[in-house]
Amino acid sequence: MIISTSWLNEYVHPGVPMEEVVLRLVMAGLNHESTHSVGLDTAVELEVTSNRPDCLGHIGVAREVSVLFSTPFYIPQLHLTESNEPAVDSISIAIQSPEQCSFYSARVIRGVRVGTSPQWLLDRLATVGIASVNNIVDITNFVMLECGQPLHAFDLAKIDGGIFIRHAFPGEVFEAINHKSYLLENSMCVIADNSGPVALAGVMGGARTEIGSGTTDILLESARFDPLAVRTAARGLALSSPSSHRFERGPDPQSIDWASRRAASLILELAGGVLFRGAVTAGNLPADLPPVTFRPERILQVLGIEVPIERQTAILTSLGLVREFYAVDGGVDGAMRWRIPSWRRDLSREIDLIEEVGRIVGYDTIDENTSIPSKPVERSRRDTLIRRVDGVLVSAGFLEAMTTSVVSESLSRLESPWTDTESLRIAPALLRGADRLRRSLLPSLLVARATNEAAGQTHAELFEVARCFMSSPEPLPVEPLLVSMVCSGTFLRAKGILEAVLSHLGVLTKIVWRPFSSKLFIPGTAAELLIEGERVGVIGSIAKGVLTTCGLTEPTLGFELRLDLLEKPMDIDCPITRPSDFPSVQRDINLVVDERLAWSEIETVIRCEAGPHFESLCVRQVWRDAQRLGEGKKSILVGLVMRSRTGTLSSDEVRETIDRIVSCCVTRCGASLRA
Amino acid sequence: MSLERFVAELDSFYLDAGTSLASAGDAAAVEVARVEFLGARSGRLKGIQKTLGALGASDKPAAGKRFNEVKEAIAALLSNAQARLIADPSDPATDAIDISLPGIPLRIGRLHPITQTIRRVEEIMGRLGFESVDGPEVEDERHNFEALNIPPEHPARDPLDNFYVATASRGGPLLLRSQTSTVQIRVMECRKPPLRIVSIGRVYRPDTADATHYPMFHQVEGLMIEPGTTMAHLKSVLRYFASSFLGGDVRVRFRPSFFPFTEPSVEVDMEWGGRWIEMGGAGMVDPAVLTAVGYDPNEVSGFAFGLGVERIAARRWGVADIRDFYRNDIRFLEQF
C-alpha cells in the first residue's frame, strides 16, 4: 500500500515529521518498504499484513496514526443530491451465485462528461503510482485508495439487459479492459449481462462496457465478493489487480455504501450528470460481529506488561471499539464486553483485543530479562546416532554435502536399495525438472561429485545425512533416515570407513556382510549389510551406467546406511575392557586356501578355536601364484597377536596357541601352512 | 636535514646491512654485523635515529614510519641469519631438513555450514531447556495447515504455493511441509505441557531460486508451553539466544505482524553490526492451536518462534548467495 503524505494529511495531523509517523506505524505493525518523492508529495510504501484490509486505504492508515498520536482524524462528510427518478428502473441485478457474491449494489448516474481529471486528482494518483485513465475511472480508483473498497464503473448504455452475478461458464471467453482475452473456468465469478461477462468479479472490468470518451451513462458497482473466488480467478489467470488484492482480504462491509456515495458525489462534482435515486442492491451484508468479552488482567498474563485499565479502555475506544455496558458492568470477574467496528473483522476473540492493546502500547515495553526455570534436556537417541556417524566421517576427512530432497526423473529411476515402488511425484517441480522425491541419497551425492569434477576438483569425498521417501500404504510415506558417502580408492578403503562408522555405533559385530547384486554397483564388487536378516546398508563400486547418468567419469565407491534401522541396535553404553598389563606376542602364519573360501570363514574359525591367549588378528597380505601355490589357490598372510591377562606368555603357551590355530584352519578350512 | 636525505641514508643502511648479514658465514661474522649495524651504543642505525630529531615536524611521521620499517626488516634478517647458522651445523652426517618445505597435507573433514549453524542453535536452546524434536517432511493438511489455524481459504494453502504430492494417498492430500511448526503439532498431540521443544529441519516453498531464496531451506521452530508463559519470556529467550549466538549484549526488537498460528504475532529483529536485522517471526501460541491439540487455553499458554537457518548462516559467514549452500562445491565447503 503506497501512502501519499499530503493525501494522508487531509484526514489526520499528527504534528510530527513523516519519518516519525512511519517509525511509529512500523512499530505498530505496518512495515516500511520505501519512501520517495513524487513532485511535491512524498510516497511511503507500507507493507500491510493480510489481516488488516482496513489499512489498504488512506483513511485506515489515518485512523492508525490518530490512535498512535492521540490526535483526531476526519472522514469526509457526504452530501448527495439525487434525482427523483429511481435507479432501480434503469437496471436489474440478480445474484445467481451467492457463495461468490453476498452483496451487490449499483448506482446510476446519467449525463456525465468523460474527460481528464483535475490536477489535484492526477497528483494524488501519480503519487501512489496509479495511471490516470479518465475522470470516472480515476474517481473509482481514488475512492478505493481512500477507503479500501474497490469500485467499478460500467458504461450503462453498453450493458445488454440486466446484471447477473454468476459462475463463469467453462470455456467462456472474457476480454478485460487490458484488451487481453481470458478463458474462464467454472470456479470463477463474473458480472454478466445477456451477452456474456462484463467483468471478472473483483478482479477486472471488461472491454465491452468500459468507460470511454463517448460514455454518458454510468453504472457504479460497489459489492462484496468472496475472497477465495477472487483469488482463484486472479491467480488462475495471473491477473492480480489492486481490486483483487483488497477483495482477497475482505474490505469493510460498511464501506460498500460509503464508497459508492463518495464516488457518486465526486462524479457529480467533476463530471456532472444526474444521480438517480437510491442504490439497486441484491444480497445481504454480513451480520455485525458479536461483542468480545475481554478480561483486563489478561494483558499482564499474556503480554507480561502492566497496562492500567483506563489506558486499555482508551486504546480500544480509539481503535473504534465500543464498550457495551450491560446490567452489572464489570461483573464479578471484571470482564468487559466490546463491540467490534465493521472495518476490523480480524478482531473476534479476546486474544485479538490483547494484541491490539499490546501493539499500541508498544512491544518495546516488554521486559527482556525475565528468566525461565532451568530444565534438563536429554539428547535423543537419533541425535546421538547422527553425531557419532558424522563424527567418524568428518574425522576421516569427508565434507558434509547438502543436496535437495527432490530429484529429476532420470535420477529417481536409478535403483534404490530400499524400495522397488515408484518415487513420489510433486507439483510444481522444486527446481527445473526436479519433481521426484528421492528414494536414495547416492545419486544426489554422485551428481555433487560430478559438479566438482566438472569444476576441476576430482576426488570430492562427500557424505550426507538426510531422509529419503518411500510410498507406503500408511497415510504418510515412510521417510528412512540415511547416511550416504562417495569416495575414491578401493573397495577396502570404503569398507574401512564404513566399518569405523559401524564400530563407533557399536553395531559392527552384529552385521552380516553378503555379496550384493544391484544395477547401482559393478557386478561382484558390492556388499549388503544385514542385521537379523534385514538390509541396513549397501556398499560397492558404482556402476559405469550410473556414473554416466550422474555425469561423473571418475571411478567412485559409495555406501548408504539406514540410520533409522540402526537406532535400536546402536550399543554405545557397553562397559570398557581394561587393557592387560602384560606384553603381547606377535606371530604371522601363511595359509594357502581354496580361492573360493572367504576370509570371514577363516576368521570365524580362528576366533572360535584360538583359545584363551589369542587377542586379535589381521590380514597382512593376500596373493595368488598358480605356479607356486597351484591353480585355484590363494595365500593369506595372517598376523596374530597373543596376550594373557594374568602374566607374560611362555614360549610353550605361544606355540600351543599357534598350533591350535593352524590345526583348526587345516581341518576346518582345508588350509595348508606355507613356511 | 631533509626528508630525502634521511630516507636515502636509511636505504643505504638497509642495503649494507642486508648484504653483510647474508654473506656472514659463521656466528662470529653475524655478531660483527649485528654490532656494526644494530649495536645499541654505536651501531649505524643508532646514528640514523639521532638525525631523526633534526627533521622538520611535518616530515617526522613519514620518517619515523620508514625508520621503523627498516629496523624491523633488518631485525628479521638478523634472526634468519642466526637460525641459518644453527640449522647448518658443521657435522655433515646429520640429515638436514629444509624445514621451510610444506608438511604433508592433512585432509580435514567438515560439517556443512547449515549443520554447524543448526548444532549451534540446538546447543544454545538446549541450555535453556529446549529439547530437539524431529518429524516427517511429507505432511498431511491437518498438521501443515488446519491445526495451525490456517483455514482452507487462506492464501498459504494455494496449491501453487506448496509442493503437493501428485501421487494419490489414502489419507488425503499430502505435501512437503512448508514450516517445521508441523512437528510442534505432532509433539503437542502426544505430550502434555510443560513443553519446551525446538524443531529444526528442511522445509519447502515454491520460490524461484535466487541469491536470497531457495525452494528448500531450513527452519528453526521453538515452542514453549507452560502455565504462566508471557511475551516477556519470549523476548527474554530470544534475547538470550541472540546474545549467545552473536556474542555480546544483543538487543531484540518486536514489530507487530500476523501469522495464523500465533496471536499476538511479531517480527523479531536483532541488532547486528549496528543495524536491526530481521531474524524471523514469533508470537504467543494462538488459542485455536492449543485447542486443536487438546490443550485448554485458559490453563496453559506458550510462545513459538521461527528463524531461517540459511539467513543466519549467510550472515554469519558473509555468504552472498544462499544457493552456494546447495552447490556442494568442495572449495566452498572446505572453508567452514
Q: For residues A154 and B71, give the distance between their C-alpha atoms in angstroms, rounded to a whole number.
A: 89
Minimal C-alpha gap between B44 and chain A (Å): 54
- Say whether A364 and B325 touch across the interface (CB within 8 A): no
Residues B81 and B153 in one domain: no
Chain A's closest residue to B174, CA to CA, is A476
Q: For residue A457, which residues of chain B lie inside 8 Å, CB to CB? A: 329-331
Q: Considering the domain boundaries, does residue B181 fall inside one? A: yes
Q: What CA–CA distances, in Å, run from B237 to A43, A280, A298, A523, B196?
A: 38, 57, 21, 56, 12
What residues contact residue A663 under an 8 Å CB cut-off, 6+ apart?
none
A211, B124, B239 from B233: Cα distances, Å = 58, 16, 10
Q: Cα–Cα–Cα angle for A227, A163, A53, nearest 5°?
A: 25
Within a domain: B12: yes
CATH number for position B141: 3.30.930.10
Are A429 and A435 within 8 A, CB to CB? yes
User: A394 and B110 in contact by Cβ < 8 A?
Assistant: yes
Q: Please check whether the domain covering A585-673 is classified as CATH 3.30.70.380.
A: yes
Report the residue of chain A nearest B230, measured CA to CA: A302
C-alpha cell at A100: 461468490
A52: which chain B residues are within 8 Å (Cβ-Cβ)?
Answer: 258
Q: Do B287 and A372 touch (CB under 8 A)?
A: no
Three-state DSSP class for A662? helix
pLDDT of residue B22: 83
Across the interface, do A377 and B129 touch by the CB < 8 Å criterion?
Answer: yes
Count of domains forming chain B: 2
Task: Could you list the beta-strand ranges (E) of A438-480.
Answer: 462-467
Instruction: Answer for the pair B66, B59: CB distance below 8 angstroms, yes or no.
Output: no
Please answer yes or no on whether B160 and A379 come within 8 Å at the CB atom: no
Cα separation, A507 vs A521, in Å, equals 24
Name the nearest CA neighbour of A338 among A303, A310, A313, A309. A313
Torsion of CA A375, A381, A387, A390, to 10 degrees: -160
Of the partner residues B169, B171, B215, the one whose CB lies closest to the CB of residue A431? B215
Task: Give the nearest partner residue to A303 out of B176, B226, B230, using CB atoms.
Answer: B230
Shortest Cα–Cα distance, B208 to chain A (Å): 8
Name the one residue in this structure whose C-alpha cell is 485513465.
A133
Select from A26, A51, A397 the Cβ nearest to the Cβ of B107: A397
One domain, residues B151 and B252: yes
Residue B97 domain-assigned? no
A533 — alpha (psi -120 to 50), left (phi > 0) or beta?
Answer: left
CATH 3.30.56.10 is held by the domain A292-364: yes
Cell of A2: 503506497
Does B287 sit within 8 Å of A368, measured CB to CB?
no
Give the gap in angstroms from C-alpha B87 to the nearest C-alpha of chain A. Answer: 34
B82 in a structural domain: yes
The CA distance from B290 to A349, in Å, is 14
* Region at A370 (left for phi over 0; alpha for psi -120 to 50; beta for the rest): beta
Question: Which of A298, A366, A422, A488 has the highest number of chain B CBs within 10 A, making it the mutation to test binding with B?
Answer: A366
Question: Buried (b) or exposed (e) across A539-569, using 16+ Cβ within 10 A?
Answer: bbbbbeebbebbebeeebbbbbbbbbbbbee
Give the residue among A213, A366, A646, A674 at the shortest CA–CA distance from B268: A366
Are residues A50 and B224, on separate chains, in Cβ contact within 8 Å? no
Nearest to residue A605, comparing CAs of A509, A557, A669?
Answer: A669
Same domain, B251 and B150: yes
Say if residue B80 is in the same domain as residue B147: no
> B231, B319, B331: best mutation site toward chain A, by most A Cβ within 10 Å?
B231
**Terminal alpha carbon distance of chain A:** 92
Residue A326's pLDDT is: 65
What is the rounded distance in angstroms from the CA atom of residue A298 to the CA atom of residue B230? 10
Does one domain contain both B193 and B323? yes
Mutate to test the interface with A, among B118, B150, B167 (most CBs of A within 10 A): B167
Q: Do B264 and A401 touch (CB under 8 A)?
A: no
Owning domain of residue B58: 3-86
Chain B residues within 8 A of A393 when measuring between CB atoms: 109
CB–CB of A457 and B327 under 8 A? no
**Domain at A82-283: CATH code:** 3.50.40.10
Look up residue B15 and give its amino acid. L
Q: B253 to chain A: which residues are within 8 Å by CB?
A: 363-364
**Residue of chain A whose Cα is closest to the Cα of B133:** A380
Q: What is the pLDDT of residue A328?
A: 52
Q: What is the C-alpha to C-alpha distance for residues A589 and A603, in angstroms, rounded to an integer?
A: 13
CA-based R_g, chain B, Å: 33
Average pLDDT, chain A: 94
| B172 and B269 part of one domain | yes
Contact check, Cβ <8 Å, B110/A50: no
Domain A2-68 matching CATH 3.30.56.10: the answer reads: yes
In chain B, residues with a C-beta closer than 8 Å to the C-beta of A384 are none
Cα B304 to Cα A39: distance, rounded to the nearest angstrom: 45
Cα angle value A126/A127/A128 (rounded, 5°): 95
- A-chain residues within 8 Å CB-CB of B329? 451-452, 455, 457
Q: Position of cell 552447490?
A: B327
Mean pLDDT by 10 residues, chain A (675 residues): 96 94 95 94 95 96 96 93 94 96 97 96 96 96 97 96 95 94 95 96 96 96 95 92 95 96 97 96 94 94 95 96 72 80 95 96 95 91 96 97 97 95 94 95 97 94 97 92 97 97 96 95 96 97 96 96 97 89 95 93 92 93 91 94 94 94 93 86
In a domain, B8, yes or no: yes
* Calpha distance A594→A638 (Å, rounded): 15
- The three-class DSSP label of residue B304 is strand
CB–CB contacts below 8 A, A to B: 241
Q: Would you call B129 and A476 a contact, using CB atoms and an 8 Å cutoff? A: no
Task: Say yes or no: B123 and B53 in one domain.
Answer: no
The low-confidence residues of chain B, meaning pLDDT below 50, are none
Domain ranges of chain A: 2-68, 82-283, 292-364, 381-566, 585-673
Q: Are domains A2-68 and A292-364 of this chain identical in fold?
A: yes
The cell numbers describing A138, all together, are 480515476
Q: Does A355 sit within 8 Å of B232, measured CB to CB?
A: no
Cα-based distances in Å from A189 to A25, A32, A225, B18: 36, 34, 9, 90
Grid cell digits, residue A251 = 474490505
Fold assignment, A381-566: BirA Bifunctional Protein; domain 2 (3.30.930)
B-chain residue closest to A231, CA distance: B155
Give the DSSP per-residue string, A254-289: THHHHHHHHHHHHHHHHH--EEEES-EEEE-PPPPP
Residues of B in contact with A354 (CB under 8 A): 263-264
Residues B150, B57: one domain?
Answer: no
- Residue B210 counted as domain residue: yes
Distances (CA, A) of A530 to A393, A442, A479, A558, A563: 21, 19, 19, 17, 13
Ordered DSSP codes for B92-105: TTS----TTSPPPP
Q: Which residues of B touch A479 (CB under 8 A)?
A: 136-138
C-alpha cell recorded at residue A15: 504534528
Give residue A331's pLDDT.
53
The reply to whether omega before B136 is within 30° of 0 (cis) is no
* Residue B256 with chain A: CB contacts under 8 Å: 27-29, 355, 358-359, 363
The reported pLDDT for the residue numbered B88 is 59
Residue in chain B closest to A389 (alpha carbons) equals: B111
